[in-house]
């Protein structure tokens, strides 16, 4: 027989019950875990890839990609707020009374029923005992109320009433913090979205073309968005990432980036990120000039502007292109800007060149495997001075995608400066097929002048079939003594050299290896490979002679350096066949333009949350470090009864009771 009244009452009972509050705390904790395990606010495509279409959709419906803003999560929070509020409502009057009350109406019978009580007999005047006891209790921090009773008097004392105040403070603090958090949340947008006033933009279009339905006006009370501004440019909007799209938030001002700076420690790690900005109002008047750094935001017009990230803002690149399979060594010029595309028409084919990024510096670990640390010297763990000898700035690099006419693209990452590896210098170019892979690097040797010219010349000569007979015959004549010139042996050698060169020009060492595997019996393969390699190296040296002669340069020296150059060149040429591009782009010069990633926040709830936090701190300390205790001393002629109570029975309480008992006994003596 439930009447509406009793239903309301039992709802009230439930909401204000401890069990309910604890259950909510537990559910909240468990729900929070989800958001830490599942990466939040990723692009939806990533989730689709990770979970497959069925679970992707299921999780999307559950709001798991943005748990903390999901409706059900907010409902749990709301229940918590309601539960705590009801709890405060229910306990407030009683607690307030408790704080004020001395419980002076306590009867003799109820005092006698206390667990902590102690009786003492005494001989002198009750008044005098009461005076002493009152003095003692006040000295112990109690407030004492003295009451006369028919046959004597009663001292009612209390201490630590603030403990109850702590309860109010802490619990209203939680309510305040939740309210402040909701003020800074996206509830308004959610409501607008539900009612169809606003819609998330998912297309990749210029912000000026985003329609008003996906724009938020400057008077939006709370937002947190970000924007990337290249040096010398300005922005009057920020972007808010929502679900699988974004919203455009119009700002009440325009912010211009003058300069973005990165400071470095001597070890190369970044030390500080700073943006010099200027703020203009909508009439175009400059109203503020400031520098924003990490941990040092600028607050303008109630909007806090933070240094959040950085990127390339459209660096201009001056590039030399090499056609890797051309029989000549003549390069061609290319110009480009990061984040932009260029058509590339070359003898090797037509391509779209997409400049992805430019990095003015690269800190790379150039060290060998770390030496064992547990040597005898480091019993004490060694020096805390970082051994950063291996970390080195290897200079600028740029990334680009080369897309062929069929739309297939590979991504490249080329260093501008040569790198020293194993004591020799190379130009490095990395390549990968998909963004998940790491770059595989091809290295091209530099000549003693520090240029790629010799390698390119040699490459051209080796890949040029027209030069092959001359190379072969030079090789044969250099190898054989003069007496054997014109013999069958020379013809055989010439033939072998031509064959090896042709194979190599067709597919590098792989082609050579395949040939040996097909034509040479297994037992003789190693020997054949060694012979072919020797022929190839010597022929290549001759090719270099010819290439130099044709370029009107002095002949190459017959020294170790040339030997290494020849070997390295052969390795590089062989790698060209798996490099995946007929073009190598060498960065000559750049004009860097940086972009600063700023985050702009308007959070009206912040002060509410901070005030709530202050109350919470006070409340917690009052609750745990102020002990509420009450003491009664009922004095009748010749007879005194001490009773004590507390809302928390701890060992400290027992100790204090023992102390009061001792005091009473001393007074009564």
Segment 470-509, which members bind another protein (CB under 8 A)? none
| DSSP structure class, residue 373 | S
Q: In the bound complex, what is the minimum distance in angstroms from residue 420's beta carbon to another protein?
A: 25
The footprint of another protein on residues 320-359 (CB under 8 A) is none
Query: Quick one: which of 8, 43, 52, 382 contacts another protein (CB under 8 A)?
Result: 382
Q: Name which of 51 and 621 has its Cβ closer to another protein.
A: 621
Contact 189, 235 (CB under 8 A): no
Q: In the bound complex, what is the minimum distance in angstroms from residue 633's beta carbon to another protein?
A: 13
- 371 in contact with another protein (CB under 8 A): no
Q: In the bound complex, what is the minimum distance in angstroms from residue 160's beta carbon to another protein?
A: 14
Distance of CA 534 to the CA centre of its chain: 52
Query: Quick one: which of 2, 3, 36, 558 contacts another protein (CB under 8 A)?
Result: 36
Query: Quick one: which of 10, 32, 309, 451 contacts another protein (CB under 8 A)?
Result: 32
Q: Name which of 127 and 420 has its Cβ closer to another protein.
A: 127
Q: Name which of 381 and 481 has its Cβ closer to another protein.
A: 381
Binding mask 200-219 for another protein (x = CB under 8 A): --------------------
End-to-end CA distance of the chain: 64
Q: In the bound complex, what is the minimum distance in angstroms from residue 53's beta carbon to another protein?
A: 26
Q: Are strands 215-216 and 245-264 parallel, antiparallel or unpaired?
A: parallel
Q: Name which of 340 and 365 has its Cβ closer to another protein.
A: 365
- 40 in contact with another protein (CB under 8 A): yes
DSSP secondary structure string, 581-650?
-SEEEEEEEEE--EEEEEEEEE-TTHHHHHHHHHHHHHHHHHHHH---EEEEEEEETTEEEEEEEESS--
The footprint of another protein on residues 7-26 (CB under 8 A) is 18, 21-22, 25-26
- 389 in contact with another protein (CB under 8 A): no
- Write out the H or E segment, with its range, that includes residue 508: helix 488-519
Query: Structure tokens of 124?
Result: 């002198």
- 267 in contact with another protein (CB under 8 A): yes
- 65 in contact with another protein (CB under 8 A): no
Cα atoms in the 13 Å half-sphere on the side-chain side of 349? 13
Binding mask 90-129 for another protein (x = CB under 8 A): --------------------------------x-x---xx
Q: Of 229, 225, 291, which Cα lies nearest the Cα of 254?
A: 229
| DSSP structure class, residue 406 | T
Q: Any idea which residue has 């003069």 for tokens?
A: 482
Query: Quick one: which of 135, 289, 390, 514 contacts another protein (CB under 8 A)?
Result: 135
Q: Are strands 143-149 and 152-159 parallel, antiparallel or unpaired?
A: antiparallel
Query: Structure tokens of 406?
Result: 């069929």
Query: Quick one: which of 309, 451, 589, 666 contacts another protein (CB under 8 A)?
Result: 666
- 390 in contact with another protein (CB under 8 A): no
- 189 in contact with another protein (CB under 8 A): no
Q: Name which of 444 and 667 has its Cβ closer to another protein.
A: 667
Task: Give the other-Cβ count within 10 Å of 624's Cβ.
Answer: 12
The footprint of another protein on residues 164-183 (CB under 8 A) is 181
Q: Where are the alpha helices (DSSP H) in 185-286?
A: 187-194
- 62 in contact with another protein (CB under 8 A): no
- 669 in contact with another protein (CB under 8 A): yes
Q: In the bound complex, what is the minimum distance in angstroms from residue 273's beta carbon to another protein?
A: 6
Contact 525, 516 (CB under 8 A): yes
Give the number of residues in contact with another protein, rule: CB under 8 A.
Answer: 82
Q: Of 235, 451, 270, which Cα lies nearest the Cα of 360?
A: 270
Dihedral of CA atoms 166, 168, 169, 174 in degrees, nearest 10, equals: 120
**CA-CA distance, 77 to 18, in Å (whole number)?**
16
Point out which span in 383-391, 399-407, 426-434, 464-472 binds another protein (CB under 8 A): 383-391
Q: Of 553, 235, 268, which Cα lies nearest the Cα of 391?
A: 268
SS3 assignment, position 254: strand
**CA-CA distance, 141 to 133, in Å (whole number)?**
13
DSSP secondary structure string, 512-534?
HHHHHHHHS-GGGHHHHHHHHHH
Q: In the bound complex, what is the minimum distance in angstroms from residue 36's beta carbon to another protein?
A: 4
Cα atoms in the 13 Å half-sphere on the side-chain side of 151? 8
Query: Quick one: which of 68, 325, 564, 577 contacts another protein (CB under 8 A)?
Result: 68
Query: Quick one: which of 85, 132, 192, 346 contacts another protein (CB under 8 A)?
Result: 132
Query: Quick one: which of 413, 540, 601, 646 contacts another protein (CB under 8 A)?
Result: 601
SS3 assignment, position 215: strand
The radius of gyration computed from the CA coordinates of the chain, to the nearest angstrom, equals 42
Query: In the chain, what is the greatest distance between 2 CA atoms, to the nearest angstrom?
Result: 145
Query: Quick one: which of 71, 386, 522, 523 contacts another protein (CB under 8 A)?
Result: 386
Q: In the bound complex, what is the minimum distance in angstroms from residue 492's beta carbon to another protein?
A: 60
**CA-CA distance, 337 to 358, in Å (whole number)?**
9
The footprint of another protein on residues 279-298 (CB under 8 A) is 293-297
Binding mask 606-645 for another protein (x = CB under 8 A): x--xx--x--xx--xx-xxx--------------------
Q: Name which of 195 and 379 has its Cβ closer to another protein.
A: 379
Binding mask 556-595 for another protein (x = CB under 8 A): ----------------------------------------
């Amino acid at each position: 027989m439930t009447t509406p009244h009793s239903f309301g009452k039992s709802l009230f009972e439930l909401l204000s019950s401890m069990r309910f509050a604890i259950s909510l705390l537990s559910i909240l904790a468990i729900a929070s875990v989800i958001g830490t395990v599942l990466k939040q606010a990723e692009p939806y495509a990533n989730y689709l890839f990770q979970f497959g279409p069925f679970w992707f959709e299921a999780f999307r419906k559950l709001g798991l990609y943005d748990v903390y803003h999901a409706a059900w999560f907010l409902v749990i929070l709301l229940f918590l707020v309601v539960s705590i509020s009801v709890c405060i409502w229910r306990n407030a009057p009683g607690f307030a009374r408790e704080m004020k009350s001395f419980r002076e109406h306590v009867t003799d019978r109820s005092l006698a029923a206390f667990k902590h009580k102690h009786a003492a007999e005494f001989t002198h005047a009750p008044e005098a005992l009461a005076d002493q006891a009152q003095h003692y209790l006040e000295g112990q921090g109690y407030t004492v109320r003295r009451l006369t009773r028919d046959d004597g008097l009663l001292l009612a004392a209390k201490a630590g009433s603030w403990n109850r105040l702590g309860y109010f403070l802490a619990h209203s603090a939680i309510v305040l913090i939740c309210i402040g958090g909701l003020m800074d949340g996206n509830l308004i947008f959610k409501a607008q979205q539900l009612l169809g006033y606003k819609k998330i933009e998912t297309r990749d279009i210029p912000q000026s073309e985003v329609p008003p339905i996906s724009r938020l006006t400057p008077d939006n009370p709370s937002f947190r968005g970000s924007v990337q501004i290249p040096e010398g440019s300005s922005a009057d909007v920020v972007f808010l990432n929502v679900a699988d799209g974004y919203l455009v938030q119009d700002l009440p001002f325009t912010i211009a980036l003058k300069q973005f700076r990165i400071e470095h420690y001597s070890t190369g790690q970044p030390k500080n990120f700073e943006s010099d900005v200027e703020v203009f109002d909508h009439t175009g008047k400059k109203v503020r000039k400031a520098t924003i750094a990490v941990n040092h935001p600028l607050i303008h017009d109630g909007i806090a502007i933070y240094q959040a990230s950085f990127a390339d803002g459209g660096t201009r690149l001056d590039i030399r292109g090499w056609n890797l399979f051309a029989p000549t060594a003549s390069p061609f010029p290319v110009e480009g800007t990061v984040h932009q595309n260029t058509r590339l028409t070359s003898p090797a084919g037509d391509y779209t060149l997409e400049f992805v990024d430019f990095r003015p510096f690269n800190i790379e670990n150039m060290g060998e495997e770390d030496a064992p640390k547990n040597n005898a010297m480091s019993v004490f763990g060694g020096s805390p001075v970082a051994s950063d000898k291996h970390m080195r700035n290897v200079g600028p690099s740029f990334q680009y995608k080369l897309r062929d006419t069929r739309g297939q693209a590979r991504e490249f990452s080329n260093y501008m400066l040569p790198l020293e590896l194993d004591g020799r210098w190379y130009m490095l170019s990395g390549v990968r097929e998909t963004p998940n892979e790491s770059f595989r690097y091809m290295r091209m040797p530099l000549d003693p002048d520090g240029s790629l010219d010799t390698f390119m010349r040699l490459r051209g000569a080796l890949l040029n079939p027209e030069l092959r007979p001359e190379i072969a015959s030079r090789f044969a004549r250099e190898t054989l003594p003069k007496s054997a010139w014109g013999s069958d042996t020379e013809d055989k050698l010439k033939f072998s050299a031509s064959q090896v060169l042709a194979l190599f020009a067709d597919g590098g060492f792989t082609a050579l290896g395949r040939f040996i595997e097909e034509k040479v019996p297994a037992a003789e393969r190693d020997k054949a490979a060694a012979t072919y390699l020797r022929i190839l190296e010597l022929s290549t040296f001759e090719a270099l002679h010819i290439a130099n002669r044709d370029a009107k340069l002095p002949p190459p020296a017959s020294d170790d350096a040339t030997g290494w150059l020849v070997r390295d060149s052969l390795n590089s040429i062989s790698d060209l066949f798996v490099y995946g591009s007929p073009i190598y782009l060498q960065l000559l010069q750049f004009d860097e333009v940086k972009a600063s990633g700023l985050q702009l926040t308007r959070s009206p709830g912040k002060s509410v949350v901070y005030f709530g936090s202050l109350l919470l701190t006070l409340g917690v300390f009052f609750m745990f470090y102020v002990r509420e205790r009450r003491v009664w001393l009922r004095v009748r002629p010749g007879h005194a009864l001490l009773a004590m109570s507390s809302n928390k029975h701890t060992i400290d309480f027992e100790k204090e009771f023992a102390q009061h008992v001792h005091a009473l006994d001393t007074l009564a003596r």
